[in-house]
Amino acid sequence: MDDRTRIEIEAAAFRALRHHLMEKRTDVQNIDLMNLAGFCRNCLARWYQEAANERGIAMSKDEAREVYYGMPYDIWKDRNQSEADVATKAAFEVAFRENVGPGKG
């Protein structure tokens, strides 16, 4: 497989993942994704931002989230996310520290 085809397939897989998380499974909470898988929608937006920045394209965290979510993050969050309980929040602190690290959120 040549590089261009590989990149196109990888991009298609990313779009399918985004569609699944944003359209089919809006009920799945970001905090649960982070606790179970070590990443969430915000991580995907951050990886998008980092890839843009690495290529000389200036993009803030908020801009990347708006690209990923298709709207400002706060609007999507208000529509789709609910408050987590204390145990879930405690698990998130561990998962975030282990998978993302300080200063990355």
Q: Domains of the chain, with CATH numbers?
A: 28-99 (1.10.3340.10)
User: What pLDDT is stored for residue 103 in this prediction?
Assistant: 60
Cβ distance 94 to 36 under 8 Å? Answer: no
- Residue 57 pLDDT more than 70? yes
- Please state, in angstroms and as integers, the Cα–Cα distance from residue 50 to each residue in 14, 55, 70, following that order: 15, 9, 18
% of the chain with per-residue pLDDT over 90: 86
Residue 24: how many CA atoms within 13 Å on its side-chain side? Answer: 7
Would residue 81 be called left, alpha or beta, if left means φ above 0 and alpha means ψ between -120 and 50 degrees?
Answer: beta
- Residue 104 pLDDT more than 80? no
What band does 101 get if pLDDT is binned at 50, 70 and 90?
confident
Q: What is the mean pLDDT of residues 82-88?
A: 92
How far is Cα 52 from Cα 47, in angstroms, rounded to an integer?
9
CA torsion sign for 61, 70, 100, 54 is: negative
The DSSP call for residue 83 is P
Q: What is the mean pLDDT of residues 76-96?
A: 92
Q: What is the mean pLDDT of residues 61-83?
A: 96
- Residue 78 pLDDT more than 90? yes
